[in-house]
Amino acid sequence: MTLDNIKEEIMSAKNIAILTHESPDGDAVGSALAMYNALKQLGKDVDLIMPEYPSIFAFLPSAKEIKETGKEDSYDLAIAVDCSDLKRIAGDTNFENANTTISIDHHGVNTMFADYNFVNPAIPACAQILITVLEYIGVQITKDIGTCIVAGIITDTGGFKYQGVTSETFEFVARLLNEGVNVSDVYKRVFQTITKTSFELKKLAMNRMEFLENGKITYTYITEEDKNNIGSQNGDHEGIVELGRDVEGVEVSIFIRQEKDGYKVSLRSNNYVNVSDIALLFGGGGHPRASGFTMNLPLDEAKERIISKVKMYL
């Protein structure tokens, strides 16, 4: 069984790298930090490698230990969390060069790229899967580990409100509450409070929002110039794509943000459009109701191409 292999590999490894996807969200950062704290508890030599992450997660236990780059030598073991494919791992060379690799994830489109893959698309957050994995390998889920896990669950479930949340999610969170995790504080920090610059970015994106196809599609965008003018930080765009999705009658929300290396597209849907299928057409991936991909075209062209595809799925 995969969990036995995972346990065996973790137990026998001396030095371990933990990695997650580029542009890490709360589930990525929370899962990676939960794994970091757990492996430290087991006395391992661990590097958590993340070139950048949103500052709102800096309060999570051991966030100060996050390294921007890994070491040159290969690791005994590399563990990727919340990552659906190899090319999306930030610092993928550390992953590929490791002697053994493990992937723990919840994306239905996961390509099973590691030596051992523990993937369950039915679970709403990778951090929730980690509870099962960590307990299996004999880690005690402490308040610190639980805080990281709750951050992942809250962000990936939209604050416990998405489909996919089950009684097990609440049972796990109830147990974490009993461990002393301050769920309401984590909720406020990772889900409710936004930076001033994020607010400014949201205002801009909202003003620009277009309603298409009788209000079934919304579209908005943010450029590098906008971000520079506002002085925004990593992660300030979080929540913009949901603004469109949450309007009555909307099925698909499209949000494009310019990054240094191209346009990053986020798609969200409400009831029936499988946006993961649409993202796959453009070389990306995700979940049925939340997906993303990157595009290297002029903005207008990217917009037109995406909208024409989305229309076909309405």
Show the binding pattern over residues 251-280: x = contacts ligand AMP (CB under 6 A), - = does not. Answer: ---------------x--------------
Tokens coding 50: 């993340």
Q: Residue 138's closest CA among 3, 1, 2?
A: 3
Q: Which is nearer to ligand AMP, 70 or 235 (CB)?
A: 235
Tell me the C-alpha distance between 12 and 109, whole Å: 30
The number of helix segments (H) and strand segments (E) in the chain equals 12, 11
Identify the bridge partners of residue 268 per DSSP, sorted by sequence position: 253, 290
Piece in contact with ligand AMP (CB under 6 A), picked from 130-138, 171-179, 224-232, 289-297:
289-297
Provide the minimum distance between the beta carbon of 148 and ligand AMP in the complex, in angstroms, as a whole number. 18
Tokens coding 253: 């929300």
Show the binding pattern over residues 43-82: x = contacts ligand AMP (CB under 6 A), - = does not. Answer: ----------------------------------------
Size of the site for ligand AMP (CB under 6 A): 15
Q: Residue 265's closest CA among 223, 286, 294, 289?
A: 294
Show the binding pattern over residues 78-107: x = contacts ligand AMP (CB under 6 A), - = does not. Answer: ------x---x-------------------
Q: Residue 313's closest CA among 265, 287, 281, 285?
A: 281
Q: Which is nearer to ligand AMP, 38 or 89 (CB)?
A: 89
Tell me the C-alpha distance between 286 and 104, whole Å: 15
Residue type, 192: Q
Piece in contact with ligand AMP (CB under 6 A), picked from 4-12, 43-51, 128-136, 288-296:
288-296
24 touches ligand AMP (CB under 6 A):
no
Provide the minimum distance between the beta carbon of 266 and ligand AMP in the complex, in angstroms, as a whole number. 3
Provide the minimum distance between the beta carbon of 292 and ligand AMP in the complex, in angstroms, as a whole number. 2
Contact call for residues 275 and 282 (beta carbons, < 8 A): no
Q: Which does 126 bind (CB under 5 to 8 A by kind): ligand AMP, Mn ion, none?
A: Mn ion
Provide the minimum distance between the beta carbon of 67 and Mn ion in the complex, in angstroms, as a whole number. 19
Provide the minimum distance between the beta carbon of 119 and ligand AMP in the complex, in angstroms, as a whole number. 13
Contact call for residues 164 and 33 (beta carbons, < 8 A): no
Provide the minimum distance between the beta carbon of 235 and Mn ion in the complex, in angstroms, as a whole number. 12
Q: Which does 292 bind (CB under 5 to 8 A by kind): ligand AMP, Mn ion, none?
A: ligand AMP
DSSP letter string, 44-65: -EEEEE-S---GGGTTSTTGGG
Q: Which does 290 bind (CB under 5 to 8 A by kind): Mn ion, ligand AMP, none?
A: ligand AMP
Tell me the C-alpha distance between 114 and 56, whole Å: 30
- Chosen residue from 291, 295, 302, 310 binding ligand AMP by CB under 6 A: 291
Residue type, 113: F
Residues with Cβ within 8 Å of 53's Cβ and at least 6 positions away in sequence, in order, are 24, 28, 29, 66, 234, 235
Tell me the C-alpha distance between 3 and 25, whole Å: 25
Q: Which is nearer to Mn ion, 126 or 134 (CB)?
A: 126
Q: Which does 47 bind (CB under 5 to 8 A by kind): ligand AMP, Mn ion, none?
A: none
Nearest residue to Mn ion by CB is 27
Contact call for residues 118 and 133 (beta carbons, < 8 A): yes
Footprint of ligand AMP (CB under 6 A): 21, 25, 84, 88, 241, 266, 284-287, 290-294
